Amino acid sequence: MKKNKRVTIYDLANELGISASYVSRALNNHPGISEKMKQMVQLKAQALNYRHNTNAANLRKGASSTIGVIVPKINENFFSNAIAGIEEACTEHQHHLIICQSDESYEKEVAAVQKLINLNVDCIIISVSAETSRFKHLEEIMHNNIQLVQFDRTAEVINSCKVENDTRDAARQAVLHLLAKGYKRIAYIGGPEQLPTFRDRKEGFLSAMEAADIVVPWNYIVGNVLTKEKGIAVAMDLLQLKNPPDAIVTVTDYVALGVLQAAGQLGITVPDQLGVFGFANEIFAELISPGLSSVEQHAKVMGRRAADCYFEGKEAGTEVIKCEVLVRRTTK
Amino acid sequence: MKKNKRVTIYDLANELGISASYVSRALNNHPGISEKMKQMVQLKAQALNYRHNTNAANLRKGASSTIGVIVPKINENFFSNAIAGIEEACTEHQHHLIICQSDESYEKEVAAVQKLINLNVDCIIISVSAETSRFKHLEEIMHNNIQLVQFDRTAEVINSCKVENDTRDAARQAVLHLLAKGYKRIAYIGGPEQLPTFRDRKEGFLSAMEAADIVVPWNYIVGNVLTKEKGIAVAMDLLQLKNPPDAIVTVTDYVALGVLQAAGQLGITVPDQLGVFGFANEIFAELISPGLSSVEQHAKVMGRRAADCYFEGKEAGTEVIKCEVLVRRTTK
DNA sequence: CTGAAAGCGCTTACAG
DNA sequence: CTGAAAGCGCTTACAG
């Protein structure tokens, strides 16, 4: 009768002349409750507009049937697809998903971790920000008995489940393709090197060049560039060297976009005078002209596997998802 | 000492020789607690690795300082920008944000609403799915004393705060531009018409055509097309009519993409033989070639305003954010 | 099969 | 300024 007062299992119990415990069990589908009673309780719950109180249940249970996911940007194709995979698994296993974005900020990432710990989530799936080079917050997750799963951008020192791409090989393949097409002076614009995935790509790049007996000038290697804007600036420098590169490998399609734009400004034609490789196969990669050669990371599969690590109770170990080099028109 | 046992304010209170109530107040920065004591409690909390239990606090308070947001797709530029605006406001007001996507499914949207009600969020900000034509779940939000704010795709019959674009005018402007450039046989591929924003765009389109004294053939108007795939199919039909259109206005850039692709397949050149207008100004709009004429909706501002409606305690009323017609190269 | 009771961890009137 | 106590709504041993 009171306005704004939440209907509780006690209200249902009173109306039905049974105990609250019984109502709880009926609502939660416990064995040893007759179908008839379950239905009665359900009906009454609907009639009174009863709402299960998640906070109360989580408090009592000390768990929440919830996975928290933290990614740098929800609107990058790679991450939103990974989230789609995680969501799929959550739906199947009747878990909730809470999505956070760090916006590539270490500070925001730490705040998101704190929030999820406080919320008592059962598992945190994370792909770390570009800024993140200390990982105490990841340790704290585990100290609070929350399962940690890392994917794509992982912290090497943290011993959790990890789902990664074989990005080393992808970078190698990209270089091999460029070499086969006659490019020789290949530059590399990389990512933040505290993260293995970016270190691996660089290694893949360097090893392929070395295997081809090509000396890479020191200034052909640039690090920590993940945005289009930085990509433009770096490419402007590279392309105006005395001995400029004839191809550039990048670690995201956004940087590749910057390279293309810089080339355009300098009147350098792609792919004839310059080959360009992106990474992550963003939606626009196949739409722009010329189509951007890139790497498909199978993000949805990665997300799916990351969630499954939790649902399967896997505590540690690394899974590797193969990625695919997609040759389009920014390379001959 | 016990393993896996959460540290509580009682543990802090015991260690410090004060009461739990005092600890709670110190942690929550209540007035009338000396700075010295606050610091002591903070330090002890850190030393014991104390974690505030959100579930317990929410249960006790009957509120959660949390906003839930439900959008059709987190990876569409419009929605991820809107979320960025909401996040900004949440950060300023020390609120949490829980992000859900309906994936354009009515069923998933209802499930998300239930979940957020059960979680006791204080406010739900929603942009409804393309499938949604019944709105009982939105009423339920309000019946549970949760503030409802709708944006962009709103339900007319639900009397909540709303943040909308003047999409009617945007559609009018787009048509006026096409007419000025000499296009005359203009077709319209619209969205689900139970939602005002799509009805408005169609009205804007029709009124501009009528004002120009142009009769629009019945089969130039198509409804409920939001994906690239459907866009291709519909455009294929339109462009192979006996008397095909010389311009097509769409309601999302993805559909426009489909139209461009269909035109390509049929050997129809853009913008000479066909003008194309998108909507929403996706990232790829300015990247593809020719650049896609589209409409900028100022999504971040919309998200920001939607959140502010809640923070300002506004119960109802509609705010209109002006959008901007961007002419690129898919129109002369 | 069913119920009474305790307790999850917090906050907040109430009292001093 | 400080504390004792109640209670948010649920679930789950425990007992029958």
pLDDT tens, residue by residue, A307-321: 999 999 998 999 999
Do B271 and B229 fall within a single domain?
A: yes
Beta strand A294-296 pairing with A275-277: unpaired
- Selecting from A99, A140, A289 the residue whose C-beta is nearest the C-beta of B99 gives A99
Do A190 and A222 fall within a single domain?
A: yes
Residue of B71, B92, B94, B287 best to disrupt the A interface, most CBs of A under 10 A: B287
Are B99 and A74 an interchain contact pair (Cβ–Cβ within 8 Å)? yes
Do B265 and B174 fall within a single domain?
A: yes
Q: Scanning every residue of chain A, which has its alpha carbon at the shortest distance from the alpha carbon of B7?
A: A144
Whether A326 maps to a domain, the answer reads no
Whether B243 has its CB under 8 Å from any CB of chain A: the answer is no
Whether B3 maps to a domain, the answer reads no
User: Which residue stretches of A191-328 are H helix?
Assistant: 196-211, 228-239, 253-265, 299-311
pLDDT score for B75: 86
Residue of A2, A55, A64 best to disrupt the B interface, most CBs of B under 10 A: A55
- Using the Cα atoms of residue B125, residue B61, residue A24 and residue A61 in order, give the sign of their dihedral: positive
pLDDT score for A1: 31
- Å from B37 (CA) to D4 (C1')? 20
Q: What share of chain B is helix, strand, coil (3-state, %, to 5)?
A: 45, 15, 40
Whether A113 maps to a domain, the answer reads yes
> Using CA atoms, how far apart are residues A229 and A245, in angstroms rounded to an integer?
20
> Using CA atoms, how far apart are residues B4 and B310, in angstroms rounded to an integer?
38
Is strand C in 7 Å reach of the CB of A21? yes
Whether A328 maps to a domain, the answer reads no
* Cβ within 8 Å of residue A69, ≥6 positions away: A83, A86, A97, A98, A99, A100, A124, A125, A126
Looking at the 3D structure of chain B, how many domains does it have? 3
Is strand D in 7 Å reach of the CB of B40? no
Q: Scanning every residue of chain A, which has its alpha carbon at the shortest distance from the alpha carbon of B51?
A: A118
Do B144 and B193 fall within a single domain?
A: no
> Using CA atoms, how far apart are residues B324 and B291, in angstroms rounded to an integer?
16
Taking 90 as the threshold, does the pLDDT of residue B204 lie above it? Answer: yes
CATH number for the domain spanning A127: value is 3.40.50.2300
- Å from A99 (CA) to D5 (C1')? 38
Is strand C in 7 Å reach of the CB of A60? yes
Whether A1 maps to a domain, the answer reads no
pLDDT score for B276: 98
Do A48 and A68 fall within a single domain?
A: no
Closest CA to A149 of A286, A316, A331, A22: A316
> Using CA atoms, how far apart are residues B249 and B256, in angstroms rounded to an integer?
8
Q: Mind listing the pLDDT tens digit for each residue in B126-139?
A: 999 999 999 999 99
Do A90 and A175 fall within a single domain?
A: no
Are A54 and B118 an interchain contact pair (Cβ–Cβ within 8 Å)? yes
- Kindly indicate the confidence band of residue A331, based on its pLDDT and cuts at 50, 70 and 90: very high
Do A160 and A305 fall within a single domain?
A: yes
Is strand D in 7 Å reach of the CB of A6? yes
Whether A46 has its CB under 8 Å from any CB of chain B: the answer is no
Is A70 in a helix, a strand, or coil? Answer: strand
- Kindly indicate the confidence band of residue A4, based on its pLDDT and cuts at 50, 70 and 90: low
Do B307 and B160 fall within a single domain?
A: yes
Q: Mind listing the pLDDT tens digit for each residue in A271-298?
A: 999 999 999 999 999 999 899 999 999 9
Nucleotide D9: nearest residue by CA–C1'?
A56
Q: In terms of residues, how long is chain B? A: 332
> Using CA atoms, how far apart are residues B202 and B194, in angstroms rounded to an integer?
12
> Using CA atoms, how far apart are residues A3 and A272, in angstroms rounded to an integer?
73
- Kindly indicate the confidence band of residue A11, based on its pLDDT and cuts at 50, 70 and 90: very high
- Is B313 buried (19+), middle (13-18) or exposed (0-12) by CB count in 10 A? exposed
Do B289 and B196 fall within a single domain?
A: yes
Q: Scanning every residue of chain B, which has its alpha carbon at the shortest distance from the alpha carbon of A114?
A: B51
- Kindly indicate the confidence band of residue A32, based on its pLDDT and cuts at 50, 70 and 90: confident
pLDDT score for B2: 36
Nucleotide nearest B50, from its CA to each C1': C9
In chain A, count of helices (H) and strands (E)?
12, 12
Burial A93-104 (b: 16+ CB within 10 A, else e): eebbbbbbbbbb
Do B199 and B281 fall within a single domain?
A: yes
Whether A37 has its CB under 8 Å from any CB of chain B: the answer is no
pLDDT over 90 for what percent of chain A? 92
- A13-27, A227-241, B1-15, B174-188: the lowest-pLDDT one: B1-15
Q: Mind listing the pLDDT tens digit for each residue in B69-119?
A: 999 999 888 999 999 999 999 999 989 999 999 999 999 999 999 999 999
Q: Mind listing the pLDDT tens digit for each residue in A197-252?
A: 999 999 999 999 999 999 999 999 999 999 999 999 999 999 999 999 999 999 99
Output the pTM of the full model: 0.92
Whether A332 maps to a domain, the answer reads no
Question: Any idea what the Cα angle at residue A205 is, between residues A180 and A125, rounded to 5°?
Answer: 125
Q: Do A56 and A87 meet the contact criterion of CB atoms below 8 Å apart?
A: no
Whether A105 has its CB under 8 Å from any CB of chain B: the answer is no
Closest CA to B123 of B317, B299, B318, B307: B307
> Using CA atoms, how far apart are residues A263 and A260, in angstroms rounded to an integer?
5
Whether B132 has its CB under 8 Å from any CB of chain A: the answer is no
Show residues of chain A in contact with B145, CB under 8 Å: 4
Strand D proximal residues, A:47-106, Cβ < 7 Å = 50-53, 56-57, 59-61
What pairs with residue B296 in β-bridges? B324
Do A145 and A72 fall within a single domain?
A: yes
| C-alpha distance across the termini of chain A, in Å | 75
Nucleotide nearest B59, from its CA to each C1': D8
Tell me how close the Cα of A5 comes to any Cα of chain B, in angstroms: 9
Taking 90 as the threshold, does the pLDDT of residue B34 lie above it? Answer: no
Do A183 and A274 fall within a single domain?
A: yes
- Domain of residue B149 covers 64-164+299-321
Are B288 and A284 an interchain contact pair (Cβ–Cβ within 8 Å)? yes
> Which strand D nucleotides have any atom less than 7 A from protein CB atoms?
1-5, 7-13
